[in-house]
Amino acid sequence: MVSVERNKNIKVITGNEACAEGALVAGLRFFAGYPITPSSEIAEILSMELPKVGGKFIQMEDEISSMGAIIGASLAGLKSMTATSGPGFSLKQENIGYASMAEVPCVVVNVMRGGPSTGLPTLPSQSDVMQARWGSHGDHPMIALVPNGVRETFDLTIRAFNLSERFRTPVILLLDEIIAHVNEKVELPDPAEIEIWNRLRPVDPPESYLPYKFTESDVPPMASFGEGYRFHVTGLVHNETGFPTNKQPEITKFLTRLNRKIERYTDEIIQTYCDYDEDAEIGVFAYGSTSRSARRAVQLAREKGIRIKFLRPTVIWPFPQKQVEDLARSVRKIIVPEMNLGQMAHEVEWAARGNSDIIRLNRIDGEPINPLEILNLITEMVS
Amino acid sequence: MDYMKYIRRKNFPLIWCPGCGHGIVMKAILRAIDRIGLQKDEICMVSGIGCSSRLPGYVDFNTLHTTHGRAIAFATGVKMANPNLHVIVITGDGDATAIGGNHYIHGARRNIDLTVILFNNNIYGMTGGQVSPTTPIGARASTAPFGNPENSFNISGLAEAAGASFVARGTVYDAVQLDKYIEKAILKKGFSVVEALTPCPTAYGRRNKLGNGVTMMKELKERSVSINKAKNLSEEELKDMIVTGVLVDRELPEYTQNYNMLIERVRETKS
């Protein structure tokens, strides 16, 4: 990390560095991981920085155990994170589902690279966006954030922790190889001014504590192991007590709350950036590093006098359905550029409900989408 | 002693079959805990998936029933986050040495202060009697209908070779010995394994015509030989025997202590 100005916290850093720094500011005190390109620097930095603040770092024997270890540490009271890339993300999925089921806050960073399988370890991709949502089996809620640059990686890493703590749920942070390794000049905020959320703690005495209590907010208060609340945690369907149940009303009640817990707060979780021209006929929906190319293409198109609406979500799960539907009602066509074969375009098409045509622009060769590719498509569509 | 003070009575009846030895191991664990005088709040019990891994649901500690094979991984996180907790891992032969073999090896290598109680019944009981890494060669299982063609693991030997500081093997027949091993294992700083041989008449005994739980326990007794006696026996004489006792008890650096020392060192250098 190169500090370029003394008074302000201005640095030239990579996305992986920003992620590690954001995590520490958010209160990360336990990291478990396994080496994998292009995410390894996050582990390397945290192996250096965590002990300095009394936190713990461990390089586990594999991806699966890294995910298990962060769940264990979170249950014992520490804010926890792991970082990986596609193949490792696949391996973690069972335990990500466990964290969701057992309502254990934790953050999973997936620096996307080309797939499937070992794929393109050093090249960027956005082909894990559906895996982030449905990679783990069963009906589970999911929150996934996608920053489009280094500074936003810092901010969204903190937000990932905040959301995971608030909703007692795993949160996925999707970087890609470009963001992970690009150096950008950023001015980081004073940590004292950053809002940090912590999990709701129980107020009930241990004798009456229910670890999965139905409350008005749908998010049960969470005790830590070792502080007098002796409770049971399982990946089996359980009732309010935390113990397994096979009773049909209890199963439905629990799984409904588990999913509703995120669904009902969708409006608060979703964040989108809109840059809309009046009376535009073309919309562009882009996320992550591709949104940088899209943004540039929109600028160039406007210089040519083309009116455009540009929508960029920083949260893709839950999906910004309303925002996309509104966009679709106001334009004729929506371009969805992405570094995969159209994973998000499916979702956009569903949310558009036939109100506009969805035009896919895909690259799967490990190269970022060039702004001119998007611009050409826009100008073709206008003429 | 009063077992009931450690029991979550409302979760009874147990899922274990008549003749299963798991309840005997559970009682041995509770006796060991009671003798040491550990407080219930100081104990975190972590298990994987399988018959034995249901145990934590029945006892009144901080309890964590994880995914198949991953108990040691979850327990590693718990122990690092709160080294004051006595973390006891409850696992079976399939859970710890097949799907979770990697974590078993690396937990031992790190020598992290966990007490692993490994219920070895030579079979996957919960899923209906499939062959496990400790099913003896030739024995029948639902997925080895013609007899198991594979060699089996010496799981205590595996822990020793991987670097565990304490390894003991006992059987549910010698339940009094078993709780002594467990007591030593809990008190030992480092990765400790107690391999507890326990009969599964339902899924293993029936298929191999070994009789009911009592018969199978008697067989455990007949096949047991203490480590001291075993020293004077030939490999041939030990072939089908179960060597019991404290197999390994050694002083090795413990991981969480090492890590805490690392933190102190780093922070001193920083200041």
B76/A71 touch (CB, cutoff 8 Å), yes or no: no
In chain B, residues with a C-beta closer than 8 Å to the C-beta of A233 are: 63-65
Residue A6 has pLDDT above 80, yes or no: no
Chain A residue numbers with beta carbons less than 8 Å from the beta carbon of B56 are 232
> pLDDT, tens digit, for every residue of B25-46?
999 999 999 999 999 999 999 9
Give mean pLDDT, residues A31-49.
98
Is B80 in CB contact (< 8 Å) with chain A?
Answer: yes
The yes-or-no verdict on residue A2 having pLDDT over 70 is: no
All residues of chain A having their beta carbon less than 8 Å from the beta carbon of residue B41 are: 226-228, 230
Angle between helix A343-352 and A321-330 (nearest 10): 70
A69 part of contact set with chain B, CB < 8 Å: yes
CB A32 within 8 A of CB A80: yes
Cα–Cα distance for residue pair A156/A137, rounded to 1 Å: 26
Residue with tokens 């009575």: B9
Per-residue pLDDT tens digits for A271-325: 999 999 999 999 999 999 999 999 999 999 999 999 999 999 999 999 999 999 9
The answer to whether the CB atoms of B78 and A233 lie below 8 A apart is no
Cβ under 8 Å to A: B residues 122-161: none
Separation CA B109–CA B114 (nearest Å): 12
Task: Identify the structural domains of chain B with CATH numbers, from first to last.
Answer: 3-270 (3.40.50.970)
Are the Cβ atoms of A235 and B57 closer than 8 angstroms?
A: no
> Which residue in B244, B169, B178, B129 sits closest to B26, CA to CA?
B178
Mean pLDDT of A257-265: 98
Q: Which residues contact B154 (CB under 8 A, 6 or more apart)?
A: none
The pLDDT assigned to B88 comes to 98
> How does DSSP assign A206-260, residue by residue?
GGG--TT---TTS------TTSS---EEESS-B-TTSSB---HHHHHHHHHHHHH
Cβ contact A231–B65 (<8 Å) = no
Q: What is the pLDDT of residues A115-170, one digit of tens each?
A: 999 999 999 999 999 999 999 999 999 999 999 999 999 999 999 999 999 999 99
Residues on chain B touching A77 (C-beta within 8 angstroms): 81-82
Q: Tell whether B224 lies on the interface with A, counting CB pairs under 8 A.
A: no
Distance from CA of B226 to the nearest CA of A (A): 34
Beta carbons of B78 and A75 less than 8 Å apart: yes
Please list every residue in chain B whose beta carbon sits closer than 8 Å to the beta carbon of residue A235: 65-67
Task: Give the per-residue pLDDT at B269.
Answer: 87
pLDDT in tens, B101-138: 999 999 999 999 999 999 999 999 999 999 999 999 99
Mean per-residue pLDDT of chain A = 97
How high is the pLDDT of residue A5?
A: 54
Q: Say what the pLDDT of residue B66 is.
A: 98
- What per-residue confidence (pLDDT) applies to B26? 98
Between chains, do B267 and A54 touch, taking CB under 8 Å as contact? yes
- Alpha-carbon distance B14 to nearest alpha carbon in chain A (angstroms): 13
pLDDT for res A373: 98
Q: How many Cβ pairs within 8 Å bridge chains A and B?
A: 138
Which residues of A are less than 8 Å from B105 in CB distance? 61
Query: Taking residues B237-257, what's their average pLDDT?
Result: 97
In which band, very low, low, confident or very high, does the pLDDT at A218 lie, cut at 50, 70 and 90?
A: very high
- pLDDT for residue A352: 98
Contact list, B63 vs chain A (CB under 8 Å): 230-233
Averaged pLDDT, B209-227: 97
Contact residues for A375 (Cβ-Cβ < 8 A; gap 6+): A297, A300, A301
Whether B75 and chain A come into contact, CB under 8 Å, resolves to yes
pLDDT band at A7 (very low <50, low <70, confident <90, very high): low
In chain B, residues with a C-beta closer than 8 Å to the C-beta of A71 are 66, 74, 77
- Boundaries of every domain in chain A: 2-189, 206-269, 271-382
Tell me the pLDDT tens digit for each residue of A61-81.
Answer: 999 999 999 999 999 999 999
Are B262 and A51 inside 8 Å of each other by CB? yes
Q: CA nearest A65 in B: which residue?
A: B73
pLDDT at A177 over 80: yes
B235: confidence class by pLDDT, cuts 50, 70, 90: very high
| Among B87, B40, B82, B84, residue whose Cα is nearest residue B60 | B40
- Mean per-residue pLDDT, A195-223: 97
B92 at the A interface (CB within 8 A)?
no
Q: What is the ipTM of this complex?
A: 0.98
Residue B65: closest C-alpha in chain A: A234
A2-189, CATH topology level: Rossmann fold (3.40.50)
CATH of A271-382, one of 3.50.30.60, 1.10.357.10, 3.30.420.40, 3.40.50.920: 3.40.50.920
Averaged pLDDT score across all residues of chain B: 97
- CB of B214 within 8 Å of a chain A CB? The answer is no
Query: Each residue of B174-184: pLDDT tens digit?
Result: 999 999 999 99
What is the predicted pLDDT for the residue at A4?
Answer: 54
pLDDT tops 90 at residue B270: no
Residue A366 gets the label, from left (phi > 0), alpha (psi -120 to 50) or beta, of left
Task: Please say whether the beta carbons of B117 and B146 come within 8 A.
Answer: no
The per-residue pLDDT for A383 is 83
Chain-chain contact of B41 with A51 (C-beta, under 8 angstroms): no
Angstrom distance (rounded) from CA A379 to CA B75: 58
